Structure 1
Amino acid sequence: MSRLPLIFLVAVIPFLSTLCTSFSPEKPSDRRILVLLDDLALQSSHSLFFDSLSSRGYALDFKLADDPKIGLKRYGQYLYDGLILFAPSADRFGGNIDSAAIVDFIDVGHDLIIAADNSASERIREIATECGVDFDDDQAAMVVDHTSYAVSDTEGDHTLIASDDFIQSEVLLGSNKIEAPVLFQGIGHSLNPANSLVLKVLSASSAAYSANPKTKLSSPPSLTGSAISLVSVVQARNNARVLISGSLSMFSNRFFRSEVQKAGSSIKHAKSGNEQFLTELSKWVFHERGHLKAVNVRHNKVGEANEPSMYRINDDLEYAVEIYEWSGKSWEPYVANDVQVQFYMMSPYVLKTLSTDQKGLYFTAFKVPDVYGVFQFKVEYQQLGYTSLSLSKQIPVRPFRHNEYERFLTAAFPYYGASFSMMAGFFVFTFAYLYNK
């Protein structure tokens, strides 16, 4: 027996087992994540963040950013479902990874976390720009805030910021309020106004600005006030999710465990809000929350159970769909009152808000419009923080056949009477004309 098949199996079986553990829409948290680092020491200095991911079932693969053996895919198949870039100073990546490969990674639906600092390379800035975020062009700039700095800022330059200007969204940050401010030290960024998919999750205060803290200001800062975003997220149209932070330090164990007191506040918190903030946000990024699926889409005539091949104008029909949300462990019913269905041909002829039984089932009933052609049932659901749903089912609508019309219409009785009276009058006139001498 040839040794070639045996060698082939030895090489391929580990690869196939890797693919079998990759992302599944039925179990979003069953994932492999590649972590690229500037220095392997980050694996221990940021271990609390990594441990929170591992404890939730993620398989983390740590690599140096310039490792020549790394790659995102092999034989046309992606090896990972998420990527964490904790390599702000990396000007190039090893293996076959470059900016275009990372953008393609997002374009096929995978997730990304980028953490930068004031040493951010052009490569990191380029990837962030592709995601709709622009870091300050000044390489030495940092976010400075003389009103919302942390009291523990020993440097005195007020670059250690205690921010509590969070986005108000439970799906992004969880249902438990973050009581303590988040410690941030790094660079700020602005959002591309042409990109409607990027959101500020943590903003700077109105007194903040971006500049080199070691020099005096000689010109107005390019980024000021609440226009500065400290942490932003992106949800692409293909439901890929991206987290962009201007601070690598905010993920560190030191910031996770630090006491925090915001300037001007008498409240001193024993622990910063970093761990809660980033843990909850990572749950969203990796689809443990806000991930929806729709199943059992169906429609039928009222009083029937089977789905017809076509409808007739003015038929009464029923439409139903089940929507569930991934809770991190199982699929739970998604409850909302703003899910709508369109009965669509070139434009919506019917637009109905679906009722729900609070157990995941959404349903409605309506009459087919008096227009025949090829229609679609369409559900286009987009809500802040949730994966978008786009459902469509095509169905033809036909007119009445010639033998399906009513024989006598009540509204036409006057016309029937006029016709028969005319015939009767003609008969009387003819009889009188022929037989009258």
Structure 2
Amino acid sequence: MDKPNPLKIIWAQKQISIGLQPTFWPVSKLTETETPTDRRVLVLLDDFSLKSSHSIFFNSLKSRGFDLEFKLADDPTLSLRRYGQYLYDALILFSPSTERFGGSLDLTAVLDFVDSGHDLIIAVDASASDLIKNIATECGVDFDEDSSAMVIDHKSYAISGTEGDHTLIASDDFIQSDVILGKTKIKAPVIFKGIAHSVNAANNLVLKVLSASPSAYSANPTSELSSPPLLTGSAISLVSVVQARNNARIMITGSLDLFSNRLLRTAVQKAGSPDKYEKSGNEQFVTEISKWVFHERGHLKAVNLKHHKVGETDEPAIYRIKDDLKFSVEIYEWSGESWEPYVADDVQVQFYMMSPYVLKTLSTDGKGLYHASFKVPDVYGVFQFKVDYLRLGYTSLSLSKQIPVRPFRHNEYERFITTAFPYYGASFTTMAGFFIFSILYLYNK
């Protein structure tokens, strides 16, 4: 039986379900010598001229150690896998007008690529084909159905030599996340020229990284509006990212020009603002977000999950109710070059059987070690140590380790139980009463 594709989305509820539920790892999938950063990247183009018109972005990837392979989207030799193994770690689709991929590549192959944990960048423009839009839809965003519509903003546009139609947007409404956009603040606005897309607010897997201003709307700039536009204001997302449940990362934008040399190096001044910048924020923006998409930042791993009784060092095969135990795990973050200790105050462990009997926030020594001590609950059965860690921009950690808990044996109970003293007293009182009654009955005339 074929494995069902978990990327299929129930659009009645507008909920994305990319990837299976995370596997519980007793230790990380990665070793100290392995790197989570994508290295082999396939770039699909509509035209090889994009290699020169977008060379600054491509060269920045090469300078960071990426091996880029450029191919036309209709190349008949296209294939993402061979003999059951994927040939690439990531895929960049700079081919918005492609109606059909070449070779063995199609919509299902791209979705399977993401479902297997690989990363994807999709950039389109006004010529976006149904194929590319369908890939984006399966990943959790909806592009405007009007093929002639573009994002227009009569207040937050980039000032240019000519008045224009205000489709050259200057946006500085960034997501507030250092792990996604880096710790260095992007000061200059990002220039955007392209089409709009929307995300569902109830879908917590899709994040708007760059949003349009409240005055923006999506419409055909060459014709008058006959009806109110469907996408307006903050409902318009210019750049969105997805982190799937299998930790695959996706970036989607309606502007292929966002990555172009022309917009990366052009001066920018936002309408209504006195500040003029010699260079737009595009280069810093696309560099930082590509670092996140390709796992150069925000990737966590957990190793050395341990537990033992207080006063001991060996891990037992079974615990007894009311035992005092210690739990520890080491968590590291990939810095792009090496694994560094991850420091946070919101990592928790659950001692779980059907529901958590113990929920404890882990303390950290600042060097990657997280630990906690607690007492085994007065319930016996098969428990799990569970660490489910979800934080914006970081890969999710889902670990578990199973351990049985037994009750006291017959010879392990206390000799005299405090709560049973009334029963002890009743027994001795009954014996004393019987003795007195016997004496009185036998010797009383």
Q: Partners in 2 of 1:433 and 1:228 — Cα distance?
A: 99
Counterparts of residues 62-77 of structure 1 (less than 5 Å)? 62-77=70-85
Q: Partners in 2 of 1:299 and 1:413 — Cα distance?
A: 37
Identity of aligned residues (%): 75
Q: Partners in 2 of 1:24 and 1:375 — Cα distance?
A: 26
Is residue 376 of structure 2 the alignment partner of residue 368 of structure 1? yes
The answer for the alignment partner of 1:16 in structure 2 is none
Deviation of 1:194 after TM superposition, in Å, equals 5.2
The answer for the alignment partner of 2:96 in structure 1 is 88
Letter matched to residue 147 of structure 1: K
The answer for the alignment partner of 2:281 in structure 1 is 273
The answer for the alignment partner of 1:408 in structure 2 is 416
Is residue 229 of structure 2 the alignment partner of residue 191 of structure 1? no
The answer for the alignment partner of 1:152 in structure 2 is 160
Aligned match of 1:234 in 228, 242, 259?
Answer: 242
Deviation of 1:433 after TM superposition, in Å, equals 3.4
Q: Partners in 2 of 1:315 and 1:94 — Cα distance?
A: 62
The answer for the alignment partner of 1:13 in structure 2 is none
Aligned match of 2:356 in 348, 355, 358?
Answer: 348
Deviation of 1:415 after TM superposition, in Å, equals 2.9
The answer for the alignment partner of 2:16 in structure 1 is none
The answer for the alignment partner of 1:132 in structure 2 is 140
TM-score, normalisation: structure 1: 0.92
The answer for the alignment partner of 1:223 in structure 2 is 231
Is residue 349 of structure 2 the alignment partner of residue 312 of structure 1? no
1:230 touches 1:245 (CA, 8 Å); kept in 2? yes
Deviation of 1:419 after TM superposition, in Å, equals 1.6
Deviation of 1:64 after TM superposition, in Å, equals 0.5
The answer for the alignment partner of 2:24 in structure 1 is none
Deviation of 1:412 after TM superposition, in Å, equals 2.9
Counterparts of residues 3-402 of structure 1 (less than 5 Å)? 26-29=34-37, 31-152=39-160, 154=162, 156-193=164-201, 195-402=203-410
Secondary structure of residue in 2 paired with 1:407 = coil
Q: Partners in 1 of 2:290 and 2:439 — Cα distance?
A: 96
Deviation of 1:436 after TM superposition, in Å, equals 5.5
- RMSD, aligned α-carbons: 1.5
Q: Partners in 2 of 1:24 and 1:335 — Cα distance?
A: 19
Secondary structure of residue in 2 paired with 1:186 = coil
Deviation of 1:30 after TM superposition, in Å, equals 5.2
Q: Partners in 1 of 2:361 and 2:30 — Cα distance?
A: 30
Structure 1: runs of 5 or more not aligned: 1-22
TM-score, normalisation: structure 2: 0.91
Deviation of 1:29 after TM superposition, in Å, equals 2.0
Q: Partners in 1 of 2:258 and 2:234 — Cα distance?
A: 19
Q: Partners in 1 of 2:417 and 2:322 — Cα distance?
A: 16
Letter matched to residue 290 of structure 1: G
Distance 1:27 1:318, change over 3 A: same
1:29 touches 1:58 (CA, 8 Å); kept in 2? no
Is residue 432 of structure 2 the alignment partner of residue 424 of structure 1? yes
Deviation of 1:410 after TM superposition, in Å, equals 3.1
Deviation of 1:219 after TM superposition, in Å, equals 1.2
1:162 touches 1:181 (CA, 8 Å); kept in 2? yes
Q: Partners in 2 of 1:103 and 1:195 — Cα distance?
A: 18
Distance 1:101 1:30, change over 3 A: closer
1:153 touches 1:160 (CA, 8 Å); kept in 2? no
Count of matched residue pairs: 415
Q: Partners in 2 of 1:414 and 1:206 — Cα distance?
A: 74
Cα deviation digits, residues 299-337 of structure 1 (max 9, x gap): 111111011111111111111111111000001111111
Higher relative contact order (CA closer than 8 Å, sequence separation 6+) = 2
2:38 touches 2:295 (CA, 8 Å); kept in 1? no
Higher helix share: 1
Structure 2: runs of 5 or more not aligned: 1-28
Deviation of 1:246 after TM superposition, in Å, equals 0.5
